[in-house]
Structure 1
Amino acid sequence: MNAPPRPAKTEPVPLTTLVARADAHPAHGDLDGVVTGATLRAQHVRRGDLFAALPGARVHGADFADEAVSAGAVAILTDRTGAGLLADADVPVLVHKDPRGVLGSIAAWIYGEPSLRLSVLGVTGTSGKTTTTYMLDAGLRAAGHTTGLVGTVETRIAGERLASAFTTPEAPDLQALFAVMVEKGVTHVPMEVSSHALSLGRVSGTRFSVGAFTNLSQDHLDFHRDMEDYFQAKALLFDGRSTSEVVNTDGEWGSRLVKADTVTVATEHGADWTAADITSSIDGEQTFTILGPGVRVPVRLPMPGTFNVANALLAAACLTVAGVEPGAIATGLGQVQVPGRMERIALGQPFTAVVDYSHKPAAVALALDAIRARTTGRVIVVLGCGGDRDAAKRPLMGREAATRSDLLIVTDDNPRSEDPAAIRRAMVDGATAAAVRGDVREIGDRRAAILAAVAEAKPGDAVVVAGKGHETGQEIAGVVHPFSDRDELSAAIREVTL
């Protein structure tokens, strides 16, 4: 993993200040020093850093303290267990009962609390986070603002693109990233905020000008105990850390977040923001009118699906709260492009070809409903499920895909450390139990599955390759192999039809 960006300059922060503000206590060592950076990865330590030695599932960060100190770490933050392992450390050891939870705030202090000098617009929810942040970015840029972007597909700083390792970076990396954005003249930062980030304190120390909620459906139940636990993690974005709160209330989960001053968005029932006169073209473009308090603006959206109307409404409400005028909102939404999200591959073939990141049951259903609504022929779907993730959603994804396709080809996604055949079997079981429209086939090799889908396609059909979206690798048995659904679908179309 490449080292994340750091600001060119930081003001040294006395250790005594960090100890006092974080309510930590020194286990041993002299507190006369200062720190100029922070990280929780020993391989990314720079001279002058605070190294966070956190407890992990398999090892303790304290095991890497010698490496961190050799690289220039001047102090260590850890828990009581870590302090016991660091009794002979050559640098001061700071102990906190919840070092992970406080690390974000400590990193923010070290980097000058950069989120206070930015307008950070955080988006959480199960589906739509990436699309909504791209819509926010497009609207902000149309209004003339210099933007950053933090999310699943990429991190962007004033137009410069960086690859993303996590939907939301680790706490010290995020605060350093914000500080770099401030140095680069960024004013506004749309960012995805995952449930993991909220639960693990990655956004602690971040002040959001706007917090937004898209929706909630089954996902990440390998990490959260149940749906209520998952929801409570999402709800942390609305615990006072966001100056303004904007919530989609189409579902019951969103309605639970509404307070007296919450800005509400809905496509299915009354809210502060809603849409009217929705029309769709055969190529997936939609037109509608956004209606909000004192706002009536016609919009052309180059993306299909009612769920994208909901995402656009959420973005429009957030942008208005951020001070963007309706004209710029319409311009931004008309220009938005989201890699791997209902992305059409158009090479002159006589059928529709789409790549989509949908990798949870509800997202699969919404995407295929949108495709079905504008397809005159058959819907052919290629879909897999990732390994080492929520296993309960596998038969559900198979069911949702099978009931909405004329041909479902179950294939591999990122099996990671699991047996690919077992993952496919769970999907096929769900698909065959529910299939009422068409056939279900199993082709483990994803490249072969995509080629088979394209070979089946006739004029007027739609081929949907779902699950990986923008990803450029496939992880099998711990090894990431180059693989792009967009490239493979394009290659298959050229081979079969052109």
Structure 2
Amino acid sequence: MISLPLFSLLTDVTVLAQHGPTDVLITALTLDSREAGPGVAFCALRGTATDGHKFIETAVAQGLAAVVCEELPAVLNPATSYVVVENSAAALAHMAAAFYGHPSRQLQLIGITGTNGKTTCATLLHKLLRELGYHAGLLSTVQNQIDEEVIPSTHTTPDSIRLNALLARMVAAGCTHACMEVSSHAVAQHRVTGLRFAGGVFTNLTHDHLDYHGTFDNYLKAKKGFFDALPKTAFALTNADDKRGPVMLQNTAARRETYSLRGAATFRAKLIANEVHGLHLEIDGREILFRLIGVFNAYNLLAVYGAAVLLGEDPTEVLTILSGLTTAPGRFEPVVSAQQGITGIIDYAHTPDALENVLQTLHEIRQPSQQIITVVGCGGNRDAAKRPIMANLAARLSNKVILTADNPRFEDPNDILAQMQAGVTPPDSAKVLTVADRRAAIKKAVELAGANDIVLVAGKGHENYQEIRGVKAPFDDKLILTEIFAQLNK
């Protein structure tokens, strides 16, 4: 069991005031007052839903060792040490890193941020490093991994305590590298504060998470904040073809590198062919066939290639391994019904840009006679502005569309669908159906599909649940589509 004096955890924390001794032994950190107890340091965070400061007295009553807060409670317990800081979330991140022995400093840690492509890039880089012979960890939306050990993932980027605990497990398991998605929430909430990154990768920036950030500018600043914090020993690799790509590099101390399919960059690729069996690319003068499909995956492959080369790996060996890798679960993942000749595609596309990318890719690889039938919804209690945009895109770029529920959470699915329907223009309205039940919607799409048609089920990807009124019921798009195909074969 870890047991460290409080003062040793505050080395990188700016302390404004303290009450009580700082040599008390800390055996656990928590941001949840319900986990308070002897030897525990409780950090009171100001969240979007509630303020941890409201629970300080409740936590103290459970006999904890220390409280870290931005504002002292009215009554102080003489048996508890209090530390006042400017930002509790940042303080907790520094304390968590120290508590677990600064594991990020013992790893080649690569952070990948952007609206789309984070999971694919992190997964591909993890697979690549392991094929190169390294022990490596992965922190992603789909799952966390320590080499082959799979650990369920609850957030794109875990809270700073769990994050450092996972990194420490990777170090203990002999990992030398780790790849992780860095969400905008994680940056804004200081979850990655105190970590030492060997490199950062930017994929792209489009409309997402405005329900949390409020404005696109705030969303941009959160992403940029990750690069601003990179040390000069790290590399910062950005997509030069995204207009926000160069912005990421403006204030970073890291080595500035770029990748591009269109112009001058550190790492360049040329698209030779984008077909149903994969991509044919020329990267830095070498022609390679890849198993992944779509221009968006050309960018993902190029980003991973660049990151690996910047880590010191041999370019030819990197490309050879990348050519044989497959994508992450739920990312343009095919499910084929050979008997009916229908191709299903499961994709996590839950933003307008991601949905457009997937549909454009299907248009690029499909035969002229193939129809595209799209099943799509939008999550509840999230950015509502994108709902009509996504429905409009689906209607314009598909032959038939079925609007359905995604994860409605605490919203009425019919309200969400009405907002989506509002984005469909009269010329496209005849090819759009609304089926609130997601299973029924997928079944209807398959019924509408003819031989060789394509059924795209978008929005949930790897998720194996559907969240309705706070309850997560089992629901897997890939499994449902597979079952429907099997029923047709009987």
TM-score, normalisation: structure 1? 0.91
Deviation at 1:127, TM superposition (A): 0.4
Match of residue 324 from structure 2: 334
Deviation at 1:496, TM superposition (A): 2.4
Q: Does 1:219 align with 2:208?
A: yes
Deviation at 1:431, TM superposition (A): 2.2
Match of residue 39 from structure 2: 48
Q: Secondary structure at the match of 1:50?
A: strand
Deviation at 1:433, TM superposition (A): 5.0
- Of residues 69, 93, 106, the one that matches 2:95 is 106
- In 2 relative to 1, CA 197–277 (structure 1 residues): closer, same or farther, beyond 3 Å? closer
Q: Does 1:16 align with 2:10?
A: no
Alpha-carbon contact 2:290-2:322 (below 8 Å) kept: no
One-letter code of the match for 2:295? T
Q: Does 1:31 align with 2:22?
A: yes
One-letter code of the match for 1:280? N
Alpha-carbon contact 1:139-1:324 (below 8 Å) kept: no
- Of residues 264, 279, 292, the one that matches 1:270 is 264
Distance, in Å, in 1 between the alignment partners of 2:409 and 2:374 is 22
Q: Does 1:435 align with 2:425?
A: no
- In 2 relative to 1, CA 53–252 (structure 1 residues): closer, same or farther, beyond 3 Å? same
Deviations 1:360-413 (A, max 9, x none): 000000001111222221000000000110100001111111110000100000
Distance, in Å, in 2 between the alignment partners of 1:176 and 1:434 is 54
Distance, in Å, in 2 between the alignment partners of 1:318 and 1:85 is 51
Alpha-carbon contact 1:344-1:355 (below 8 Å) kept: yes
Distance, in Å, in 2 between the alignment partners of 1:72 and 1:320 is 51
- In 2 relative to 1, CA 30–258 (structure 1 residues): closer, same or farther, beyond 3 Å? closer
- Of residues 83, 87, 94, the one that matches 2:76 is 87
Match of residue 472 from structure 1: 464
- Of residues 349, 352, 361, the one that matches 1:361 is 352
Deviation at 1:52, TM superposition (A): 1.1
Alpha-carbon contact 1:156-1:162 (below 8 Å) kept: yes
Alpha-carbon contact 2:16-2:86 (below 8 Å) kept: no
Deviations 1:98-129 (A, max 9, x none): 11122211211121111110011100000000
Match of residue 163 from structure 1: 152
Distance, in Å, in 2 between the alignment partners of 1:407 and 1:353 is 14
One-letter code of the match for 1:406? N
Deviation at 1:448, TM superposition (A): 0.1
Distance, in Å, in 1 between the alignment partners of 2:308 and 2:268 is 15
Deviation at 1:88, TM superposition (A): 3.1
Match of residue 482 from structure 2: 490
Match of residue 186 from structure 1: 175
- In 2 relative to 1, CA 134–72 (structure 1 residues): closer, same or farther, beyond 3 Å? farther
- Of residues 198, 201, 213, the one that matches 2:190 is 201
Cα-Cα RMSD: 2.1
TM-score, normalisation: structure 2? 0.93
Alpha-carbon contact 1:412-1:424 (below 8 Å) kept: yes
- Of residues 167, 175, 194, the one that matches 2:164 is 175
- Of residues 119, 124, 129, the one that matches 1:140 is 129
Alpha-carbon contact 2:14-2:86 (below 8 Å) kept: no
Distance, in Å, in 2 between the alignment partners of 1:218 and 1:280 is 26
Unaligned regions of 5+ residues in structure 2, if any?
A: none
- In 2 relative to 1, CA 20–419 (structure 1 residues): closer, same or farther, beyond 3 Å? same
Q: Does 1:316 align with 2:305?
A: yes
- Of residues 412, 417, 433, the one that matches 2:405 is 412
Distance, in Å, in 1 between the alignment partners of 2:63 and 2:97 is 20
Q: Secondary structure at the match of 2:151?
A: strand
- In 2 relative to 1, CA 471–165 (structure 1 residues): closer, same or farther, beyond 3 Å? same
- Of residues 249, 261, 271, the one that matches 2:240 is 249
Deviation at 1:337, TM superposition (A): 3.1
Distance, in Å, in 1 between the alignment partners of 2:110 and 2:371 is 40
Distance, in Å, in 2 between the alignment partners of 1:20 and 1:188 is 26
Distance, in Å, in 2 between the alignment partners of 1:205 and 1:432 is 49
Distance, in Å, in 1 between the alignment partners of 2:35 and 2:463 is 25
- Of residues 105, 108, 123, the one that matches 2:112 is 123
- Of residues 396, 406, 413, the one that matches 1:403 is 396
Distance, in Å, in 2 between the alignment partners of 1:86 and 1:393 is 47
Deviations 1:297-322 (A, max 9, x none): 44332221101000100010001111
Which segment drifts farther, 230-239 or 34-43? Answer: 34-43
Distance, in Å, in 2 between the alignment partners of 1:86 and 1:379 is 65
Distance, in Å, in 2 between the alignment partners of 1:300 and 1:354 is 21
Distance, in Å, in 1 between the alignment partners of 2:184 and 2:438 is 29
- Of residues 371, 374, 377, the one that matches 1:378 is 371
Match of residue 5 from structure 1: none
Distance, in Å, in 2 between the alignment partners of 1:318 and 1:298 is 19
Distance, in Å, in 2 between the alignment partners of 1:225 and 1:281 is 39
One-letter code of the match for 1:23? T
One-letter code of the match for 2:353? A
Distance, in Å, in 1 between the alignment partners of 2:217 and 2:426 is 28
Deviations 1:423-452 (A, max 9, x none): 11111111235738x600000000000000
Alpha-carbon contact 2:269-2:302 (below 8 Å) kept: yes
> After superposition, where does 1:232-311 map in structure 2 within 5 Å?
232-242=221-231, 243-258=234-249, 261-283=255-277, 285-291=278-284, 296-311=285-300
Match of residue 228 from structure 1: 217
Alpha-carbon contact 1:19-1:26 (below 8 Å) kept: no
